[in-house]
Structure formats: C-alpha cells, structure tokens
Chains A and B, each alone.
Chain A
Amino acid sequence: MSYRLGVDVGGTFTDFLLLNEDSGETYTAKVPSTPEDSSIGVLNGIARICEESGVAPNKIELVMHGTTVATNAVLTGRGARVGLVTTAGFEDTLQVARSFCPGGLGGWVSFIKSPLLAPLELTIGAHERMSADGEVVQPLDEEALRNDLKTLAATREVEALTICLINAYINPEHERQVAAIAAEIFGDTPISVSSDVVPEMQEYERTETTVVNSYVSPEVSSYISNLQTALRERLGERSQLSILRSDGGLASARAASAQPVNMLMSGPAGGVAGAIYFCERAGFRNILSFDMGGTSTDVALIQDARARVRRETIVGDVRVRAPSVDVRTVGAGGGSIAFVPELTKALRVGPESAGAVPGPACYMKGGEAPTVCDANVVLGYLPSDVQLGGKMEINHEASVKAVQSIADAIGIELMEAAEGIIKIVNESMFGALRLVSVEQGYDPRDFALVGFGGAGPLHANALGILTNAWPVIVPKGPGVLCAYGDATTQVQDEAARTYLTMAEELSDSQMLTDLHELRDRAAKSLLADGIDQEQQEVSYQADLRYVGQAFQITVDFTEHELRDRGVALLTEAFDAEHEQLFTFKLGDGHEILMIRAVVKAATRSMAEAGIETSNTTVDECKIQDSRFYYEAAWHDAPVYNRDQLQCGHTLEGPAIVLEMDSTTVVLPGFSAVVDRMGNLLINPVNPEE
C-alpha cells in the first residue's frame, strides 16, 4: 500500500493531506507554519499526520508541495547577487527595459525604478553577434570573454550567473560557448542560460526572465535540497519530492531546482488545482475562482476543469516570460486599508495593506488603520464573540474606532461606512473577475464561482450577486484545498522554441518533425526522474497571430489531431477564438510564433474522498446566535460549526459558518447546501428574481 502527501505552506498554517492511493482514504493535519525555515513545519506536520493516521512514514512515496519560497525571494528582495553576460553593446538592456514609465501623463514625475536584479556593475558584454536568422555575424571572442569573466569573478560578488545574448533564441551556439567558459571560471556558481530557460524573442523579457531564474536559484535549490534530505531521513530513500509549477504541473525536485523561475506562482497554482479538484467532483467543470488573502486576491477562469495558462508571470514589479496559471491579482484583500482623500471625499480601499504586521485594527497587533477586515467585524460578518481553537482574538471596539474615522471623514454613519468599504472591495474583485471572463468573451453566468483563501468565503456570496455566477461554492478549509491541489497533480515538463513561420508555407510533415524534436527535449527530464515513455502523455501547443499583430493565441492540439487535419487545424482554431474575442477575423496571414511540447506523467487513478451523509440536524451544528448588517438593516444570523456539518445539510441565510481558518457568510435570500465533498453550495432561494 502506498501513500502520497500534499503539503501547503501558508502564512499561518501548514496543511497536509495524506492520501491512500489504493483506497482513496484521506487524512488531514494542520500545524503552525514556521516562517524562518518552513521545512521545520513540514517535518512537524509529517510526524503529526503519521502519528494520527497510524501510517508508517516509509509508506509515503510521493510528497507534493506548493511553495512560495521563490515568490518570497522576489518580494522581499532577498535573492542572489546576479552577474550577467550580454552581447557587447546591450549591457544596458535591463537598465532601459521597455522605456516604460507607469502612471499616465506626468507619471514620470514620481516614477521610481526598482533596482536591477542583475546590477550593471556585475554586467559584462561578450564580443559576438548572431543575426536574426541565426547566422554567425561575428564569432565569439573567447579570449576577451575569459578575461572579462575573470575580472567579474574577482569581485567575489556574483552568487549566480545569467547568460543572455542577442538572437540566442534562434541559435544558442554562442550562449553555449559562453556557458562552457563561465563554468570553468565560476565553478559551482549556478549558471542560467536564456536559450535553455526561455528561448523566445524579445531581448529584455528573455534577459529579465533568465536573471530572475538566477536570482531565486540559490534560495530555491537550498530549500529543496534541505527538505529532500530531511524527507529521506524520515520517509526513507524511496521517497520522492515534487514541487508544483506555476503552470499547475508538477516538477521533480531536480527539475524545480534547475528552473526555479517556473515556481514563482507555485502557491496560487495549488489553490487553483485544489479548486478544480473540489468543484469538478461537485459536478462543476466551468468555474471562476477567487482566492482572497490578506493583501491581494487572485482570480482565475477555469473551463472544462482546466485552468488557462498564460505565458507570463507577474510577482510584485517583476514580470517574466514563464508559463503560469492565468491568475489575475488585484490589490484587494482582508488587510486592504480604507481612506478618504480630503478634497474629493471619495471612499478608497487599497492597494495599501496593513499586512500581517501591524495588521487590521481588530487583531490589536499595533494596526489602527481601518481595513476590510475591520469593516467585516463591524458588520458582524466576522463574529468577535465566538472562538474556535487556534483562531486569533478579535477586538470589536478597535474595529469600530477605526471604521468610525472613515464615517467621520465622509460625514456618514458608521454602518453605512462599513458597508461602503465592503462594497468597494467587492467591486474591485468583481473588476478582476470581469477581466478574466467578460473581457475574454466569456459570460460569467455560464460559470460557478468558487471562493477560498482566508477572506474569500466572507465575500463569496456578495460576489455571486455581482457576477450572477451560481452556485457559489465554498470548499472546506483554504489550506486543505491547496494541499489537495498539490496532491492531485502530475509531473510535467515542456520544451518550446520561437518558430516565426507562416502557416500557409508550412508542411504538415515539417511541423511534425519539429514538434517531435521538442517532445524529446521535454521528455528528458521525465526520463531522468524515472518516468518512462509508456507513462508519458504528450500534447502540443502553437502560438499564432496574424502577421504583424502583437497579440497571440495559444492553440492546444495532439499529434493525432494534427495528422488528421493538418496545419489548418491551427489556423481555424485561431480564427474562431480571434472572432470570439474581437468580433472579427481574417482568412490568411497566420504566423506561427512559437511551438511547444508538453509532456505529462499519465494520471494515476485514485479513489475519491467524501464526507459523511447527515445523521444529525443542522441545529445540532449551531454554536450560537448572532446578527449581521446587510443592505442597511440588521439580520439575526445563527453561527454554525463547519466541522460538524454533514452532506445534505441546508442552511438558510442569513447564516455564518465558522471553521478554523475562514468564515463563510450566507446572505438573506440565499441558502447553502452541504455536498458530499463538504463544499457549501450557495444559491438564491428564488432564482428567478
């Protein structure tokens, strides 16, 4: 009997899901996170879950893990000092970037550029040149390079090295030569090469992406290797660690260390994967997800149980060309601060956040500014007088004081101000949900809405009203959700190249040959991790546009489909989607920009989890009576304990459902049903209204 373990490291708790691969039996556990070294929390939790479940540690073969270690290295600026080799004459590529100053007319007056991740003083130019069609214009001057690299190494400042040469996306030969020489001089220093990391056109984006790969590389590698060593000690030599990639696939620990830039969105991808898991089993394959945390909210559109993948990842100011689940982030979270500019008397919420420290006023950790969380306390959505084990204490008075300052500034009543704050923050999340749906040509009414994250379930019902996406689904426990996501995905890798070929001039057989070459490249890392060819599933992608457009659409296809319908398969799919997005299409002029092979380990079948059917009444799950304020009136609302709810229970709104790490609000006129997955499905009582 073998087990797999999903691990999600959150800001407060680390969650575990242990899954018996044969029976489908599951166990969960929750331990406090250990931010100074999160592997400690992971090991604590493993000890706990093994003890509680009685499963011997050496039965756990696979540990699957979503991690924010790469993200945090970027956000906190604690990455490596990166040295950079460019083509001579292009040393300033990062300094100039795309010449863009944000902020509209006059935005340059206050624009402060963030420090470069590879500083100019550690950047050198290689004397060489490749043409746009991959011909050598000027051979690499190895002698000069060797000298410059030695000078660079002598600074002893370089902790990771990036190589990115002009037009290397079309011919990587010079980059390889540079890498070989650099390896002689720099020894163990990790080296990232642009044609390996992201062989795509556009020198700034390619340089930045490869530099970010270098920047997070030492931190990610040491985290992964420490964790793997510790796991092997506890679980035995057979145990394998896998890390969730930004695009929702899994990478082996080895592959993750080699291309850590692909792990930047590992955390959110776990949430999306978990949301898909819970919703699909509840019978919903088309969903809009929103994951609302303390400082921001991530939204995504999932069609046919697959998240859209975008060829770009954004973390803070850093924007890289790495595939990630198409998650849009807005600066609206539970900690977002409300304020009123004196002159316009408008009510603004965010993007400033109180974060964990000093935090919302209600948590009494030094925060005094009014936050979304405080408005939720004032309105009664977050009950201050009910406690569950492990929850942070809430001070109602402090929230009232904070929100009162907003009311006074505008000249309105306290409760009106609190509702205003909630409405505005809901509206900005609604804006993000529109961005992934309406603005991409999708009607939200065709989707279900799933809300999770620490604050998501508080706002989920209200966002259902705005989007008209029903039911609103609130899965159990945000941490457990991510751990499910981690535990239920497959190992995957991909290989891509810039293609720049007119579809009309391309033969089917040429395209197949080129795709097979990519397939073999992508399969290498799976083979290296012991997943042989029979266990691999291959799919392909092509990015198309009308020649001259900046925009591109990714078309997914299989070898079978290509053999069946030829290249026309791509152009027809492109035309159809272009028309859906922009109301028009052209018949010809299709350029294939990139081609890509994605190789996945075949899905292992897994029995499913569920919760017990009700043998209790809803009333038995009630903790106490409370009330909340909604649409300018108070409503009596019972508070229920989520852990006691069972499949088939129905809660009539107004109601509040408490669990350890989140709180769900069911509004008047709505009711929530508990399904066999433990989800709360919220629907209007009178849907025709």
Chain B
Amino acid sequence: MTATIIQTNQEPLTEVEVDGVTVDIIENALRNAREEMDTVLFRTAMSPGIREQGDCFPMIANREGKMVVGQFGSFIAPFLRAYDEEIEEGDLILTNDPYLCNAAVSHLPDWVVLVPIFKDGRHIAWSAMFGHMSDNGGMVPGSIPIEATTIYQEGIRIPPTKLYKKGVLQSDLLELILHNVRTPQWNRFDLNALVAACNTAAKRCVELAERFGDDVLVSTMEVMLKRNYDAMKHIIELFIPEEPREFEDYLCDDGMGNGPYRIKCRLWREGSTAIFDFDGTDPQAQSSVNFYLNEDMFKMFFGSFTINVVDPQIVFNDGFYDLVDVRIPEGTLLKPKFPAALSGRTHALGRIFDLLGALLGMGAPEQMLNAAGFSDSPHLFYSGYDHRSGKGGEWFQLFQIGFGGVPGRPVGDGPDGHSLWPGFTNVPNEFIESYFPLRIERYETICDSGGAGLHRGGNGLSVAYRFLADGEIGIHDERWLTHPWGVLGGETGRRSTKKLVRTDGSEQWLPAKVEGIKVRVGDLLYYNTWGGGGWGDPFARDPELVRQDVRRRLVSTEGAKRYGVVLDGDGKVDTAATESLRKKLRHERGEDIPLFNLGGSIDEIKSRCEEETFLPPPVTPRFPTQQAA
C-alpha cells in the first residue's frame, strides 16, 4: 500500500549544485513562508484556542515528505506509505485519526490538512498544518472525555480524506463532518484558515521555484536537510554518551482513580546514532490519558532542544532522523493499541519533555539541566446556556489553556506564569469576560509556589473564575500528586490544586482530572497551576534577590527562610540571622546533594497525599498482563 502521485509533467527534477549564499537565501525565504502560515491562520481563525492561544503547527516538506521547515516534524512519509490512493494537483487531504496517520496528530481534536505542491505539472513539495479544534463531538463539550475507554467515544474520526479534489471542495463531506461537532461555525472557520495557510505556503514555494528554478529549490531543500544532519551528528557525538543513562517520571493518574503511571527512558549512543528506549514504561491506560507518540515527532523534540547550541539561526528540520533510533514498546502508555482512547494525551506529552530534559541535561547539569516545569497544558472547559438578560439562552463553550511556572534554569530564574509550549499565549481576561458568562476575580501568581534554588522556579498562577451562568465544567491537569522536581539542590515546585467555593460558602477540592461538575451562578473556582522546580543551591542565592522577591510578593517573608534568608521588621536582610540560619540548614541538609529532588518516593508521596492535597491517593494501576515486556 502506498500513495501514487499523479504528475502531468514527467520531466524529472535534477539535483544541481547550489552555491552557499543561494541556500541561505532560500532557507530564509522558506522560514518566512512558514511564519506567514502562522500569520494567515491567526488572522482568519475564529476559535479562541487557535487564534488567541496559538494551538496549531505549520510545516513545509520536500517531495519525499521530509520537513524542511516547521515545528513538530513530519508525518508525511509514513502517512504516504499507508495511504493507498492517487494524489493529484488541487487535492487537499484532511484527517484527524492518529491511528491512520502514524500519530502525526495525537488526538482527534487536532485536525491536520495536507497539500501537495505542484508547479507546471510536477510535484515539488508539501505543506501541512494542524490546529486544535474547539470541539470534535463525542461524550463531552471540548471532546476530551477523561472517562472514554475507546476512541469511538471521542467524537468523529476522519480517515485521510480528500476535502478538495482537483481544487473542488467536497462540501457534502464537510457538512457531514461539521454536523458532528458542537461548534460548527468555529470549526468551519478554523479549517478554512488551515487551508488558507497551507495554500499560502504552496504559493510561496512556487514563487521560489520561479525565481531560482525548480531544480535549485528542490536541491536546496536537500542541502538544508544535510545541514541539520551534519549539525546533529556532531551534537550527538559530543553530548550523548555510549554508556546508557536512564530516567523515569510519572503521570500522576488516569482520571479514573488509578496512578501513577511510569514513563521510563534509557538513552545511549552507538556510533553516531542516539538510541532512546522506552522499555519499562507502563502499559496503556483504560482511560484517555494515553499518548500515542510518533517516533519521528520525538526525534524532533530531541533535536530542537539541542540544535540551538550550535547555530541558533538554523532552519530546523528532519534531516537528522536517520541518526536517532526511538524504541517504544507496543501496548504501552506511549504506543497504545487500537481502539484505545487518546484524547487526554496532553499530560503524557508534557511529561515527555520533563523526561527528555532530564536525560539530555544530566550529563552536564551545570550547563544543560533545567528543573521540571512541564506539568502539561492545564485545560478548563465550561459550557452551558447563557440566560443572562440579552443573551437569549445561547449555547457557550469555553476551552481555556492555563500556564504555570517555568522551572529554574542554568541561565536564571524561571518566569512566573509563562508558557513552555511554543507560540502559546493566554487569553486576555477582559476578552473572556465580554464573550463568556464569567468574571475573573483574581489573576495572580502564587506566592512561594516556585521551587527555591540559586535560580528560583517560576510561580504558578491562581485564576479565580466566578461563574455567571449555570453550566458544567471539566478540568484536566497534572502534577497534583508528583512534584515538579528541583535539581542540583533546588527544591520542588508547589503542586497544582483546584478549589470550588459554592455560594453557600462550602468548599470542595476538585481532582486534577474531572468532568461533568455542575456549577451554578455565583460559584467560584480557584484554578491553581504548578510552580517550576528550583535550580541550584537556594542557600547560595544572593539574599538581596530574595529580599527583592519578597518586596514583589513573589516570595513571602516565611518563604524566604527556604533560602535561609531572614528579613527584619522593615523588610531588610538580617545578615547575622541569615548567616546562622544558612549554616544550620546546610548542616541539616548534609554534604550529599542529589542531582534530582523528586520530593520523596512514590510511596512516601502517596502516604502524605490526603493530608497535603485533600484528595485520596490514586490506586496503583493493575495491568491485565505485562504486554510491554
């Protein structure tokens, strides 16, 4: 099975010698084209998720489907192998099914559009883009049902399908798809925007071919891939040891009372090849927290975290994929078997980044190891009918992504309440208030939530939502049980919590993953995200910086003591008391500072769970058979 590309012009493209400056110019032009895709999408998309938060990713690929510019790496080659159809000029393929595109997109709400680029009857490149749709039908508004046990419950599944055939929109098909989602108008616009973005990229590629020649453009793409290959070969040989190293981290729970789930990875090098082996990762979950991880996408994660070291201006691409071998056992949380539910994959995706950061950084922690900060991307869903006067009882559906603390890093403190995801931004509160029945009563960083360290972890955010209409909420969050870890003596960051205060004054701590919670007019939800882990010895931090953090309400006077800093009644550093407290704390800590501070073993964390988080500890998951062995 493989796709056949129909060309009306059979004259072959020839590989030609391209001078370096021309390569640099085309490289720049392709980078601009990719940025233009984003611009077109943001301007024309309509759902807050895409247009305000930027939950979408573009790509331009060469004829073989290797990503030449983009973000998350290419899925096109494996996709083409699995797509047993003819592809012609003017065709545009749409899909959202991870199982049918080798996990190019990892859950159904991400819709991906793929456009073959032709010039004079010859196929010269591809453009593709995916975006997170506000709704995909299925069990719950927002289409990320925690309790789904199969993908059939997660909404409409679109196999690779020609949305346009030879330039003609298949409108029956489009209407059928949109008929199955709760936000058809948003999706229609967002899809339109994805198509417009891909077509823009196609136009730019054709213009480049006209300017430099088809052969030069196509050959330059090869050179760009080779540049990445060369750079990554050097990086791998320099940074990846032959001696294996390993790290494991956890997904706190599956939203059904089971957890934590272990994700484990070993890394070593054989010759110029880096090998990532996920053997030892727990089997797949029965709920939707599985993350079907595309191996190529993981290679991209690895590359983008390291390549900046040698050429920050390089246009990053797929060229080095042959140098990385990713091994993921089938039937695990990271490669679940069909028809496992996948929609809640964001948690494990975030955890993969913490894991990767640890593996790559542990060899040279002073220069390269960051503390933990990827909780995940916390979601809030709020939906219902708006019965306030003038609103006419209209349906509303909010999907909002939150942010926590960026961890302490070798370069310095982690920013407070910032995004670790590329391109994401928050939605202005005044915007939310004018379009949804909500009042945001507080939007502030959580004092003391960042892990103490020589470089402080960023504080998490506390957002207080006052509901102005009856409705239902859903919450997806992580790092409520396990801690955002600190490194090199840095403390853990504070974990995430959610508290619902009813109008009668009663309070309820909500689980990190929950859906179908009924809320009434006047109820108040505190959505508190995690703080970043601390980096380095907190007792070595300049006491003046700690005093400044206290003055800025980022650290409390009491919290300053975690740094061994004592402030007097006027808020000034009490030097003598600070010295003696630091001496005492250093002595208590001892000489042996572990590289990672995980906040205790899983058993210890569980035993303190109820007391610290006001929630019962999850039950250790039981797997029917050890499929992962």
Which A residues lie at the B interface, using CB under 8 A?
A: 89-93, 95-101, 103-113, 119-121, 129, 131-133, 137, 166-167, 169, 201-205, 341-348, 410, 412, 419-420, 423-424, 427-428, 431, 434-435, 439, 500, 546, 548-551, 581-584
Task: Determine whether B245 belongs to the interface, using a CB cutoff of 8 Å to chain A.
Answer: no
Give the contacts of B407-426 with A (CB-CB under 8 A): 409, 411-412, 415-420, 422-426
Contact of A104 among B196, B304, B426, B430 (CB under 8 A): B304
Looking across the interface, which residue of chain A has its beta carbon closest to that of B412? A112
Whether A96 lies near B416 (C-beta < 8 A) is yes
Can you name 8 A-B residue pairings with CB atoms under 8 Å? A89-B443, A108-B373, A120-B554, A129-B441, A346-B227, A549-B44, A549-B45, A551-B51
Name the distance in Å between A180's Cβ and chain B's nearest Cβ: 24
Minimal Cβ-Cβ distance residue in B for A578:
B44
* Contact status A96-B418, CB under 8 Å: yes
Residues of A within 8 A of B442 (CB): 89-90
CB A116 to nearest CB in B, in angstroms, measures 9
**Residues of chain B in range 12-69 having any CB-CB distance to chain A below 8 Å:** 20-21, 23-25, 27-29, 32, 36, 39-40, 42-47, 51-52
B433 x A98 contact (CB < 8 A): no
Evaluate contact between B439 and A549: CB separation under 8 angstroms.
Answer: no
> Could you say which residues of chain A place their CB within 8 Å of the CB of B45?
549-550
* A137 and B417 alpha carbons, distance in the complex (Å): 27
**Docked pose: A112 CA to B424 CA in angstroms:** 17
Contact of B415 among A90, A103, A113 (CB under 8 A): A113
Docked CA distance A625–B568 (Å): 77
Q: A110-B308, A346-B27 are in contact. Are A91 and B433 (CB under 8 A)?
A: no
- Among B93-101, B143-151, B279-287, B309-317, the stretch that binds chain A is B309-317
- Please name all residues of chain A whose beta carbon is closer than 8 Å to the beta carbon of B434 when the two chains form the complex: 132-133, 201, 500
Determine how close the nearest CB of chain A comes to the CB of B65; give it in whole angstroms: 20
Question: A412–B417 Cα gap in the complex (Å)?
Answer: 48
Whether A203 and B430, one on each chain, are in contact in the complex, defined by CB atoms closer than 8 angstroms, is: yes
A2 to B47 alpha-carbon distance, docked (Å)? 58
Contact across chains for B548 and A89 when beta carbons are under 8 A apart: no
Tell whether, in the assembled complex, residue A105 and residue B43 are in contact, meaning their CB atoms are under 8 Å apart.
Answer: no
User: Quick check: A101 and B419 within 8 Å, CB to CB?
Assistant: yes
Roughly how many angstroms separate A434 CA and B196 CA in the complex, as a whole number?
Answer: 18
Interface of A (DSSP majority class): loop
State the Cβ distance, A364 to closest chain B Cβ, in Å.
28
10 extra A-B contacts, CB within 8 A, seeds A92-B443, A546-B189, A582-B44? A90-B444, A97-B418, A99-B403, A105-B71, A341-B311, A346-B227, A347-B21, A423-B21, A427-B25, A431-B32
Let me know if B313 and A100 touch, CB within 8 A. no
Chain B proximity of A290: nearest CB distance (Å): 16
Q: Cα distance A107–B409 when bound, in Å?
A: 12
Whether the Cβ atoms of A107 and B44 lie closer than 8 Å is: no
Closest residue of A by beta carbon distance from B370: A109
Interface assignment of B339: CB less than 8 Å from any CB of chain A: no
B420 touches A431 (CB 8 A): no
Partner of A131, one of B32, B52, B199, B439: B439
Complex Cα spacing A205 to B305, Å: 31
A132-B430 in contact given A89-B442, A342-B310, A346-B227 (Cβ < 8 Å): yes
Tell me the smallest distance from the CB of B478 to a CB of chain A, in Å.
Answer: 17
Q: Is B445 an interface residue, CB under 8 A from the partner?
A: yes
Say whether A101 contacts B406, CB under 8 Å. Answer: yes
The tally of CB-CB contacts under 8 A between chains A and B is 211
Chain B residue at smallest Cβ distance from A426: B25
Cα–Cα, bound, A420→B185 (Å): 49
* Structural contact, A105 and B304, CB atoms closer than 8 A: yes
Complex Cα distance A129/B426, Å? 21
Q: How far is the CB of B546 from chain A (nearest CB, A)?
A: 13
The CA of A113 and the CA of B423, in the complex, are separated in Å by 16
Q: Max chain B CB contacts within 10 Å: which of A99, A121, A546?
A: A99
Does B461 belong to the interface (CB within 8 Å)?
yes
Whether B9 is near chain A, meaning CB under 8 Å from some CB there, is no
By a CB distance below 8 angstroms, the chain A residues around B51 are 549-551
Given known A348-B313, A420-B20, A582-B196, contact A546–B46 (CB-CB < 8 A): yes
Quick one: CB contact mask for B268-291 with A, threshold 8 Å, 1 for yes?
000000000000000000000000
Chain B contacts for A104, CB-based, 8 A: 71, 304, 316, 422-423
A109 x B411 contact (CB < 8 A) = yes
Question: Which positions 376-416 of chain B face chain A at CB distance < 8 Å?
Answer: 403, 406, 409, 411-412, 415-416
The complex places the Cα of A137 from the Cα of B430 at a distance, in Å, of 15
Q: Does B519 contact A (CB under 8 A)?
A: no
B231 at interface, CB cutoff 8 A: yes
Instruction: Tell whether, in the assembled complex, residue B441 and residue A89 are in contact, meaning their CB atoms are under 8 Å apart.
Output: yes
What's the least CB distance linking A151 to chain B, in Å? 12
Contact residues of B between 196 and 242, Cβ < 8 Å to A: 196, 199, 227, 230-231, 234
- Give Cα A582 to B45, complex, Å: 11
Flag if A548 contacts B25 (CB, 8 Å).
no
Report chain A residues within 8 Å CB of B416: 92, 95-96
Instruction: Establish whether residues B231 and A110, one from each chain, have CB atoms under 8 Å apart when the complex forms.
Output: no
CB-CB under 8 A from B530, the residues of chain A are none
Provide the bound-state CA to CA distance between A205 and B430, in Å: 11
Contacts of A431 in B (CB 8 A): 28-29, 32
Residue of B nearest to A552 (CB): B43
Q: Which residues of B contact A424 (CB under 8 A)?
A: 21, 24-25, 28
Q: Establish whether residues A347 and B43, one from each chain, have CB atoms under 8 Å apart when the complex forms.
A: no
Least Cβ–Cβ distance between A688 and chain B, in angstroms? 18
In B551-577, the 8 Å CB interface with A consists of 551-554
B contact residues around A581 at 8 Å (CB): 43
Alpha-carbon gap, A572 to B137, bound state (A): 35
- B464 near A: Cβ within 8 Å? yes
Contacts of B71-98 to chain A: CB distance below 8 A = 71-72
B32: contacting residue among A203, A434, A546, CB under 8 A: A434
The reply to whether A423 and B419 contact each other, CB–CB distance below 8 Å, is no
Interface residues of B in 162-181 (CB under 8 A from A): none
Q: Is B126 an interface residue (CB 8 A)?
A: no
A529 to B199, CA, bound (A): 52
Q: How far is the CB of B315 from chain A (nearest CB, A)?
A: 9
CB of A553 to closest CB in B, whole Å: 10
**B247 interface residue, CB < 8 Å from A?**
no
A203 touches B20 (CB 8 A): no
B196 contacts across to A, CB distance below 8 A: 582-584
Do A105 and B305 have beta carbons less than 8 Å apart? yes
Task: Give the distance in Å from the alpha carbon of A102 to the alpha carbon of B496 in the complex.
Answer: 25
* A424–B23 alpha-carbon span in the complex (Å): 10
A427, B28: Cβ atoms under 8 Å?
yes
Given contacts A343-B311, A546-B46, is CB(A100)–CB(B305) below 8 Å? no
Q: Tell whether, in the assembled complex, residue B431 and residue A202 are in contact, meaning their CB atoms are under 8 Å apart.
A: yes
In angstroms, how far is the closest chain B Cβ from the Cβ of A599? 28
Which residues of B (427-459) have their CB < 8 Å from a CB of A?
428-431, 433-434, 439, 441-445
Roughly how many angstroms separate A104 CA and B31 CA in the complex, as a whole number?
13
